Structure 1
Amino acid sequence: MSTFQAIFLGALQGLGEFLPISSSAHLIIFPWFFGWKEQPLAFDVALHLGTLLAVLVYFWRDYVEIIVKGLTEPKSEKGKLFWFIVIATIPGALFGYFLEDIVENVFRKQYLLIAIVLALFGFILYYVDKTAKNRITISNMNILHAILIGISQAFALFPGISRSGITMTTGLLLGLKKEAAAKFSFLMSAPIIFGAGAVSLLKNIHDVANQLSSFAIGFFTSAVVGFLAIHFLLEIVKKSGFKIFAYYRFVLASIILVVFLLRM
């Protein structure tokens, strides 16, 4: 893997992990566009750990306060948020553990199917962004919100759905304000990314040593771009919501369809 490829894929992961555009779809589609070899699993570990660093650095004060309050004052506003994150993590972790390998094998080279999923979820994202009544702040969330948003993470296993996209959309459907839906999605991402990254790291620890240079480049690129993506999304949802990402999905799905037809 060249340095350019490592940087490019790291940037894709950093953007796709936090913007509602699906990092997994991008990491499958763009190497296909350019005719690159499939990246090693050890490199995917680096990308996920990079985005974990991004969210931990961006929200480190929130995490410290949430964890402390959760363990010492579980009935306080921040304390309840800690337990909501724990509850929301459980469904996604279970589905990921049992189904991730199956889904990945089914979707790995199904480019047309990924295009359909990208476009379909783009319509859902656009509709929900336009019609949802957003009144609930993150401090007014309840356990039902956490459970339903957590269950929605299971759909993120399918390339084209997007973990951040499905959790934010579910939050909007439940009445959360756009900023609240985005922030809760980011806060609850750390346990899932950590779990997935740790499992993959243990499985591919020997390959990491052999790919150390690419690993480091992908890690730092995804961390920096992921940090900027979080800031970008929090700012843009205040002004124009999520419609811009729906439009992007439509464009990318159309490009995939054209390339697929040309290569038939």
Structure 2
Amino acid sequence: MPSGHAADPKLPRQADRPLAALSPLDAIGVGFAQAGALLTGFSRAGLTMVGGLWRGLENEHAAKFAFLLATPTILGAGLVELPDLAEPRIAAIRGPVLLGAFVSGTCSWLAVRYLERYFRTRTLLPFAAYCIIAGTLSIIRFM
């Protein structure tokens, strides 16, 4: 019997690839999927995860890649806004803004940790169902 992914249980199926097995071409494909979030109503993280799954990543690794791709964008946006915190008109709210940024960062880190554990054994199906329901309700509400 010829050896192949389906016949040889020692070889991972294409949909079981770890993040380290993602080729540069696959990463570009995931990036193009992420670009779909430029359209109103599309989740950047959701599209990135779907792109990762489409390129054969495991659920957990598709989610991790989506979070990794968000990091430079969030950091860049924060750095662009940083000079505004030095302005005198912001002095009265500087403390609450910094505290809010810290709490937001901490909550984001905790959420990513939870989702990484969640996706080790579960699928993106609940997220997909949520997106379909929320999208449908939005269309009905805002038509």
Return the TM-score normalized by structure 2: 0.71
RCO greater where, 1 or 2, for CA within 8 Å and sep 6 or more?
A: 1
Letter in 1 for 2:121: K
Equivalent residues in 2 for 1:151-230, closer than 5 Å: 151-202=32-83, 204-205=84-85, 206=87, 208-230=90-112
Q: Is the 8 A contact 1:149 1:171 kept in 2?
A: yes
Q: What displacement does 1:172 show? A: 0.7
Q: Which structure's CA Rg is the greater one?
A: 2
Q: What displacement does 1:255 show? A: 4.6
Cα distance per residue 1:42-68 (max 9 Å; x no partner):
xxxxxxxxxxxxxxxxxxxxxxxxxxx
SS at match of 1:160: coil
Q: Is the 8 A contact 1:137 1:177 kept in 2?
A: yes
Q: What displacement does 1:235 show? A: 1.9
* Runs (5+) with no aligned partner, structure 1: 1-132
Q: Is the 8 A contact 1:182 1:234 kept in 2?
A: yes
| Partner Cα separation in structure 2 for residue 241 and residue 208 of structure 1 | 44
| Partner Cα separation in structure 1 for residue 60 and residue 101 of structure 2 | 27
Letter in 1 for 2:41: G
Cα distance per residue 1:39-98 (max 9 Å; x no partner):
xxxxxxxxxxxxxxxxxxxxxxxxxxxxxxxxxxxxxxxxxxxxxxxxxxxxxxxxxxxx
Instruction: Give identity over the alignment, percent.
Output: 34
Q: Is the 8 A contact 1:138 1:176 kept in 2?
A: yes
Residues 208, 140 of structure 1: alpha-carbon distance in 2 compared, 3 angstrom cutoff:
farther
Residues 144, 249 of structure 1: alpha-carbon distance in 2 compared, 3 angstrom cutoff:
same
Residue in 2 aligned with 1:233? 115
| Partner Cα separation in structure 2 for residue 159 and residue 209 of structure 1 | 34
Residues 247, 214 of structure 1: alpha-carbon distance in 2 compared, 3 angstrom cutoff:
farther
Q: What displacement does 1:260 show? A: 4.4
Residues 220, 260 of structure 1: alpha-carbon distance in 2 compared, 3 angstrom cutoff:
same
Q: Which has the higher helix share?
A: 1
Residue in 1 aligned with 2:26? 145
Give the CA RMSD over aligned residues: 2.5
Q: Is the 8 A contact 2:41 2:135 kept in 1?
A: no
Residue in 2 aligned with 1:46? none
Structure 1 runs of 4+ with >6 Å offset = none
Q: What displacement does 1:199 show? A: 2.0
SS at match of 1:211: helix
Q: How many aligned residue pairs are there?
A: 128
Q: Is the 8 A contact 2:34 2:44 kept in 1?
A: yes
Return the TM-score normalized by structure 1: 0.42
Letter in 1 for 2:103: T
Q: Is the 8 A contact 1:208 1:215 kept in 2?
A: no
Q: What displacement does 1:159 show? A: 4.3
Cα distance per residue 1:212-238 (max 9 Å; x no partner):
244134212212221221122112222
